[in-house]
């Protein structure tokens, strides 16, 4: 869909939520005039839209954010998940087993994560999360993490939700995703930002001390 600098721009907006041209200049090695033309073309094509954000005195800042069309270009596991739900319900003959399906699905994800971590020999939080990042990236979460050694906390940020359409019908995936992190790392894990509530990412705060 996108290549080169346009791909870099779209990914930066996805990760940050909003992006100004000046911020893009700091991250992408292109002239401001070239980047401005890329933003304008992405806007004309319907992938981004502009907004003026006031963060203090003076003129509002021009920021760009993704449109639904722009968000749709990112990896998604929705089709596979929906197909699995349908298959599962048909095999059981009871639509009330939706909760059982989701619990089974997330248990399989947990087992896969644990198997990957064990196979890698990772034995500390930073090594474990590095292994998990690869799995989350494959699933389309666009993950990032930051380890604060001073506070002994690990922040995991999921910049994309591969299950966004499913979550319009049920928040079970959200509940089970938090439990996933608690079982994998710490029972004290808390979700501090939430895409379903309008945030740009789901962020999990994980104590590792």
% of the chain residues with pLDDT over 70:
98
- Virtual torsion, Cα 22, 25, 30, 35, nearest 10 deg: -40
The answer to whether 53 and 61 are in contact (CB under 8 A) is yes
CATH code at position 8:
1.10.10.10
134 and 196 together in one domain: yes
155 and 197 together in one domain: yes
62 and 96 together in one domain: no
Higher pLDDT pick, 16 / 169: 16
> What is the model's pLDDT at position 28?
92
Higher pLDDT pick, 82 / 65: 65
Strand boundaries in 106-186, DSSP class E:
143-148, 153-158
Higher pLDDT pick, 151 / 175: 175
Q: What is the pLDDT of residues 167-204, one digit of tens each?
A: 888 889 999 999 999 999 999 999 999 999 999 999 99
pLDDT higher than 80, residue 2: no
Q: How many CB atoms lie within 10 A of CB 21?
A: 17
Q: What's the pTM?
A: 0.72
Residue that finishes a domain, picked among 22, 54, 71: 71
If you average pLDDT over residues 101-130, what whole number do you get?
Answer: 93
> What is the model's pLDDT at position 182?
95
Q: What is the pLDDT of residues 131-142, one digit of tens each?
A: 999 999 888 899
- CA distances from residue 79 to 89, 146, 207 in whole angstroms, order as listed: 15, 31, 34
DSSP letter string, 57-106: SSSPEEEEEE-HHHHTTS---HHHHHHHHHHHHHHHT-GGGHHHHHHHHH
> What is the model's pLDDT at position 44?
93
Q: What is the pLDDT of residues 29-78, one digit of tens each?
A: 899 999 999 999 999 999 999 988 776 676 788 999 999 889 888 877 77
95 and 178 together in one domain: yes
Quickly tell me which residue has 């203090």 as its tokens.
Answer: 56
Strand, helix or coil for residue 45? coil
95 and 181 together in one domain: yes
50 and 123 together in one domain: no
Chain CA centroid to CA 146, Å: 14
Provide the residue range defining the domain that includes 33.
Answer: 4-71
62 and 108 together in one domain: no
- CA distances from residue 46 to 72, 97, 142 in whole angstroms, order as listed: 11, 39, 22
128 and 51 together in one domain: no
> What is the model's pLDDT at position 138?
87
55 and 122 together in one domain: no
67 and 110 together in one domain: no
What is the overall mean pLDDT for the chain? 89
> Structural domain tally of the chain?
2
Residue that finishes a domain, picked among 41, 71, 101: 71
156 and 95 together in one domain: yes
> What is the model's pLDDT at position 1?
63
49 and 131 together in one domain: no
> What is the model's pLDDT at position 56?
67
């Amino acid at each position: 869909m996108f290549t080169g600098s346009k791909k870099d721009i779209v990914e930066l907006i996805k990760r940050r939520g909003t992006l100004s041209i000046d911020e893009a200049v700091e991250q992408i090695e292109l002239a401001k005039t070239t980047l401005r033309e890329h933003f304008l073309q992405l806007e004309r094509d319907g992938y981004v839209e502009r907004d003026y954000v006031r963060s203090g005195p003076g003129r509002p800042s021009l920021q760009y954010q993704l449109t639904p069309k722009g968000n749709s270009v990112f990896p998604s596991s929705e089709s596979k998940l929906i197909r699995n739900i349908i298959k599962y319900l048909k095999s059981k003959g009871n639509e009330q087993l939706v909760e059982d399906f989701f619990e089974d699905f997330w248990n399989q994800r947990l087992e896969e994560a644990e198997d990957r971590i064990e196979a890698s020999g990772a034995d500390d939080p930073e090594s474990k999360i590095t292994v998990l990042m690869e799995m989350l990236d494959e699933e389309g979460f666009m993950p990032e993490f930051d380890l604060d050694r001073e506070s002994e906390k690990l922040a995991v940020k999921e910049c994309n939700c591969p299950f966004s359409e499913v979550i319009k019908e049920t928040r079970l995936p959200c509940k089970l995703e938090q439990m996933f992190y608690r079982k994998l790392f710490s029972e004290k894990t808390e979700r501090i930002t939430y895409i379903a509530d309008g945030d740009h990412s789901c962020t999990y705060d994980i104590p590792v001390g």
